[in-house]
Structure 1
Amino acid sequence: MLPPINTIIENFEIVEDEHMRLEYLIELGRALPPLPENLRTDANRIHGCESQVWIDIAVEEADGTKRLALQGFSDSFIVRGFVALMIALYNGKTPREAAEIDGLDLFRQLHFGGHVTSKRSNGVRSMVDRIHHDAVRLAA
């Protein structure tokens, strides 16, 4: 189970060693529950990633409030960690709240931009764009 996004941010702020930061990112990816094969569809595939990435975005309703329920997977350990970051950031938000969040800000805040290949950065951008697009559509 993933820790709350605030805890994740605090943990990254404590760890200064780049190798340990990547290890923590990989650990977050390992904490993701397996994505069922039936959700690894082309509709859930995030295009623009060097690795294979799937994110399923569903809506759950409780007490009359719709909230996003995200699941994801990647065949790359590092990218799976980025998927975990996006899930921790957006999961449980209303579609309107999610539409107002810029996941790239989290990526920059955690200082991954300079230490990650451009293809992985493009993959994160593709994840954020997809989540934002679906959130805007679901908020309408």
Structure 2
Amino acid sequence: MATEAFEDIAETFEFLDDWEERYRHVIEMGKAMAPLDPAFQVPATKVEGCASQVWFLPRIDGTGAGARFDFQGDSDAMIVRGLIAILHALYSGLTVAEVLKVDAGAELGRLGLDDHLSSQRSNGLKAMIGRIRKLAKEAAA
């Protein structure tokens, strides 16, 4: 149930030969993201459980399960900004009901991230996914 944007990332990862190139690509995706206005980098938008500073600002269009999900995110670590960009590609534009159906572990597993991230980064990624699911559940209610 991946979005077209996520499928593009998966295809790019297949094309890149090694993990050094893939890491560079993830960092470049993070650099390409618009920064989150510092006014929104507050405790209410902070994602707990990440070693780096991470903030998510949800943007929900509509109400109930059919509301469209989007978010803007930022981090003080470039690799984490890239992971945010990947999550944005995975979830942005889905309804909140669809967000809750995404098997993030399986989709991200297609990229091989689980085998190449440190345990701290993996835990942070899980915390970000948990925050996205929480935002979607709240919006669906």
If the length of structure 2 is used for normalisation, what is the TM-score?
0.90
| Distance across 1 between alignment mates of 2:24 and 2:107 | 18
Show CA shifts across 1:14-42 (max 9, x none). 11211000000001111111111121111
Residue number in structure 2 paired with 1:95 = 96
| Distance across 2 between alignment mates of 1:8 and 1:129 | 21
Residue number in structure 1 paired with 2:81 = 80
Residue number in structure 1 paired with 2:70 = 69
Name structure 1 gaps, 5 residues minimum. Answer: none
- The structural deviation recorded for 1:111 is 0.5
Show CA shifts across 1:88-112 (max 9, x none). 1111111101111132222211001
| Distance across 1 between alignment mates of 2:87 and 2:102 | 11
Instruction: Give the conservation status (yes or no) of the 8 Å contact 1:98–1:135.
Output: yes
2:86 maps to a residue whose letter is L
- The structural deviation recorded for 1:44 is 1.0
Secondary structure of 2:52's partner?
Answer: coil
Residue number in structure 2 paired with 1:58 = 59
Instruction: Give the conservation status (yes or no) of the 8 Å contact 1:104–1:128.
Output: no
- The structural deviation recorded for 1:49 is 0.6
Secondary structure of 2:67's partner?
Answer: strand
- Bigger helix share: 2
Identity of aligned residues (%): 36
| Distance across 2 between alignment mates of 1:104 and 1:81 | 17
| Distance across 2 between alignment mates of 1:31 and 1:106 | 22
Instruction: Give the conservation status (yes or no) of the 8 Å contact 1:51–1:76.
Output: yes
